[in-house]
């Protein structure tokens, strides 16, 4: 107990120092949706590469749709994982989602409340300014429903700082990429 209290005190002091040195107002993001591990993320200008978590702009088509259909509150950050980058072929055939001819996920037709979800169909090769977002959570509102996104629809890379341990069990898509930087792969995790 004493060790945990000491650790939490040190972590809190570090956050205060962090806030004094940098302006975290627009850089710290709290994820509260089930699509990504709940917790605190740092918005980074790191390059968009497969495997990284990103923040979808609240002004994007995807975020506006999610807000209008009451999946999220107004201006909530949407965290999604990059599954495909420039040159990758992305397809939706029926409910199957394919990246470079490999089935990686399945789209739902309706959500848990019975609301219809967006549908796109066909194949597209990602251009230099496009990405495909797909998170492990099987009910995530991501590329399964919206297709590719423009990089300009993203606010930046979300680096986990302090996140809850994943409690969702089996994922809804195959492992995407594991090339995240060491600091991204080892955030502080709550048990």
pLDDT by residue (tens digit) across 68-118?
A: 888 887 877 899 999 999 999 999 999 999 999 999 999 999 988 899 999
Question: If pLDDT is split at 50, 70 and 90, which confidence band does 3 have?
Answer: confident
Q: Give the pLDDT confidence score for residue 1 in this predicted structure.
A: 58
Q: How many domains would you assign to the chain?
A: 1
pTM above 0.85, yes or no: no
Contact yes or no for 126/84 (Cβ under 8 A) = yes
Contact yes or no for 56/133 (Cβ under 8 A) = yes
Residue 67 lies in a domain: yes
Q: Give the pLDDT confidence score for residue 114 in this predicted structure.
A: 92
Q: Are strands 188-190 and 154-164 parallel, antiparallel or unpaired?
A: parallel
Tens of pLDDT, residues 135-190: 999 999 999 999 999 999 999 999 999 888 654 433 344 434 333 333 344 444 34
Residue 11 lies in a domain: no
Q: Give the pLDDT confidence score for residue 159 in this predicted structure.
A: 94
Residue 100 lies in a domain: yes
Residue 13 lies in a domain: no
Give the residue with greater pLDDT, 16 vs 74.
Answer: 74
Residue 153 lies in a domain: yes
Alpha helices in 22-110 (DSSP H): 61-68
Q: How far apart are CA 84 and CA 98, in angstroms?
A: 10
Q: Which residue range(s) make up the domain with 32?
A: 25-190
Give the pLDDT mean for 36-62: 93
Region of poorest pLDDT, from 24-38, 41-55, 94-108, 167-181? 167-181
Residue 7 lies in a domain: no
In the block, which residue shows the tokens 């107002």? Answer: 25
Residue 2 lies in a domain: no
Q: Give the pLDDT confidence score for residue 15 in this predicted structure.
A: 63
Q: Give the pLDDT confidence score for residue 23 in this predicted structure.
A: 54
Residue 19 lies in a domain: no
């Amino acid at each position: 107990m004493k060790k945990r209290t000491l650790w939490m005190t040190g972590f809190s002091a570090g956050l205060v120092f962090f806030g004094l040195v940098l302006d975290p107002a627009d850089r710290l993001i709290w994820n509260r949706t089930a699509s990504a591990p709940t917790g605190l993320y740092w918005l980074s200008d790191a390059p968009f590469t497969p495997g990284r978590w990103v923040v979808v702009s609240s002004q994007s088509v995807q975020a506006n749709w999610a807000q209008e259909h009451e999946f999220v509150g107004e201006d909530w950050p949407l965290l999604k994982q990059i599954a495909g980058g420039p040159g990758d072929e992305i397809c939706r055939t029926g409910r199957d989602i394919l990246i470079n001819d490999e089935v990686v996920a399945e789209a739902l037709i309706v959500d848990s409340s019975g609301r219809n979800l967006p549908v796109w169909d066909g194949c597209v090769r990602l251009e230099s300014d496009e990405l495909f977002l797909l998170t492990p959570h099987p009910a995530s509102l991501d590329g399964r429903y919206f297709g590719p996104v423009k990089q300009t629809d993203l606010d930046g890379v979300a680096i986990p700082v302090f996140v809850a341990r994943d409690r969702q069990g089996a994922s809804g898509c195959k492992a995407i990429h594991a090339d995240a930087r060491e600091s991204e792969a080892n955030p502080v995790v709550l048990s």
